[in-house]
Structure 1
Amino acid sequence: MLRDNAPFYIVMNAGSGHAETELRSRIIREVLDEAGRPFHLRIVEDGSRLADIAAWAVREACANDGVVVAAGGDGTINTVAHQAVNAGCLFAVLPQGTFNYFGRTHGIPEDLADAVRALLTARVEPVQIGMVNERIFLVNASIGLYPTLLEERELDKKQFGRSRMVAAFSALKTLFGSVRHLRITIEQDGVERQLRTPTLFVGNNALQLQQVGIEPLSAALEEGTLAAIAPRPLSRLGMLGLMLRGALGQLGSSQDVHAFGFRRMTVKKRRMPGGRRIKVATDGEVCMLSTPLEFRVVEGKLRMLKPI
């Protein structure tokens, strides 16, 4: 239950630069001070401390019947949400990323002042999350080419700035580099099948799936499933064609894509270098996990403040 004057414990990522961080923190303070709402704002200057600061905020929120609030992009939101799920703490979001799939899906205003005001009258609702082994994901998780693309994109963003154009350029550069195909075994409902694919993408966000044209699976998310997408092995030009289809919202009509919904799925790798560990991206953050990978949907564990 959310108290009318429940304090907010806000964790804000300062990744956008000092001036932008100052502006955003001032907006948050002004709106909440004007409303007379108690809050504590922690700004994360060093990304390596994000998880520790998120854990502190969750402990304080739990101890004081408050709400932990993630202010940042999908990676920041994921880190704070992970702590909130483990502790059973109320959770809220002030999205600040480039794409903001999670915030937009749940109707959170993109304007920061409006998003803060929306927290003041929001209602608590359970939000579906995905898990791969013990890591949660709110938007997507992936193995293969996609994690590599994300790593290259972060490097390019540091050099050229954060924009959709830079993201597109980085994707093309990665695509025309060295692409290694995965050989994996997927087990679902006791049935195994073999796949060879450049990447396995698991989606938990209807907006993202709609944008690339996977309409049936985006609707299935509302019924408590996750969506798996795996392109067939293609040439570089073939992969470029798939990317263009996705950009145009037509990926679902391609014969070169395996796409299916599931609630639980085990993925084992076959004849891949690197031993039992594999690179996995969850909401834009890349880590190494041990195989086999178990992807599953989890309902009711994340209690989130959503705008009325």
Structure 2
Amino acid sequence: MPGGPLCLVLNAASGHGEAGAAVAEIEQACAAAGRTLQVFAIDKRHPPQQQAGAAVAAAQAGGGIVGVAGGDGTINTVAQATLGSGCAFGVLPQGTFNYFARNHGIPTEMEGALRVLLSQPPQPVQVGLVNDRVFLVNASLGVYAQLLEDREAFKSRYGRNRFVAFGAALRTLFGQHRPWDLRLAWGGEVHSLRTASLFVGNNALQFEQVGVAEGEALEGGSLVAVLVRPMHRLARLGLLLRGAASRLDDAEKVQTLSFRSLDVAPSRGALRRRVKVATDGEVGFMQMPLRFRVAPEPLWLIRPPAVA
């Protein structure tokens, strides 16, 4: 609602004084736009899920919007709380890759993102679910989920940048990985296959960068899965290089498919029930079987007008 409060979830522990400077800039922009600001800071005593819920409740009570300042993982947490609440959702991206914001045309610098957040109307955007857990960018299991764990370990030691992320990817790809025997059901078909990784995407920009043409199906209201067959270490390096060169579709052991609902279960003889699943960069355990699907309702995102 125009003029309603901006109920903003923000990580108070980020940077050296950067959070305070960001709040001051946001307060100034809100004052200029005639909008009040309520900040719900994430810290050791106030975890992300708690603050996201509090922000949604405040936005519902005051006819405002829910905002989040953070990377894709923090954005995911707040989106989970916002979906189905009736509230509009705004993003001030502060991550390394910012796939969600960039995919929807939201500027990655604060001034531009604030201008969009405080002036544009909300528009519906597609959300993915895995066992009812939201993902805005991607969800995965297998090698890709392991890569995210390794990347976070590297970042805690060496800092957060793209070179560190690439180094973590190399370490993951050259490690030992047990393949998965899975049964996949979608569109009335059932297939059993062995894979090193199952990656489900909801972000056209990410697919475009690695060269997966099937990503165009996202525009038609589908999700897209990428399955990688087991391969030796040097072949994994070649796959990484193909992705970096936007040529993943050319890889012989990569299979893609689009769907609105995909059920994933262990094949006969497979014993694993609880599995590590990554959603928008955050890794946790989920119970098999997994159901990946398009959420029945959209997220009402404040974003620039779509370019025809």
Bucket of the pairwise TM-score, normalised by the shorter protein: over 0.9
Of residues 232, 249, 261, the one that matches 1:252 is: 249
Of residues 156, 181, 184, the one that matches 1:183 is: 181
Find the counterpart in structure 1 of residue 273 from structure 2: 276
Find the counterpart in structure 2 of residue 220 from structure 1: 217
Instruction: State how 1:1-308 maps to structure 2 within 5 Å.
Output: 3-46=1-44, 49-215=47-213, 217-270=214-267, 271-272=269-270, 275-308=272-305
After superposition, the Cα gap between the structure-2 partners of 1:221 and 1:299, relative to the gap in structure 1 and judged at 3 Å, is farther
Contact conserved, 2:197 with 2:228, CA < 8 A, in 1? yes
Gaps of at least 5 residues in structure 1 are: none
CA distance in 1, matches of 2:74, 2:198: 23
TM value normalised by structure 1: 0.95
Contact conserved, 1:182 with 1:196, CA < 8 A, in 2? yes
Contact conserved, 1:121 with 1:307, CA < 8 A, in 2? no
CA apart distance, 1:24:
1.8
Segments ≥4 residues shifted beyond 6 Å = none
Residue deviations 1:80-128 (CA, integer Å, cap 9, x gap): 0000014232211111110101000111111112211211211111110
CA distance in 2, matches of 1:255, 1:15: 44
Residue deviations 1:28-50 (CA, integer Å, cap 9, x gap): 12222233311111221239710
Residue deviations 1:15-72 (CA, integer Å, cap 9, x gap): 5323222222222122222333111112212397100010000011011111010110
Judge which range, 180-189 or 263-272, deviates more: 263-272
State, as a whole percentage, how many aligned pairs show the same letter. 46
Contact conserved, 1:13 with 1:47, CA < 8 A, in 2? no
Q: How many residues align?
A: 304
Q: What SS is found at the alignment partner of 2:57?
A: helix
Opposite residue 24 of structure 1, the aligned amino acid is: A
CA apart distance, 1:222:
0.5
Gaps of at least 5 residues in structure 2 are: none
After superposition, the Cα gap between the structure-2 partners of 1:193 and 1:48, relative to the gap in structure 1 and judged at 3 Å, is farther
After superposition, the Cα gap between the structure-2 partners of 1:272 and 1:169, relative to the gap in structure 1 and judged at 3 Å, is farther
CA distance in 1, matches of 2:158, 2:292: 34
Residue deviations 1:207-230 (CA, integer Å, cap 9, x gap): 000000012x22110000001001
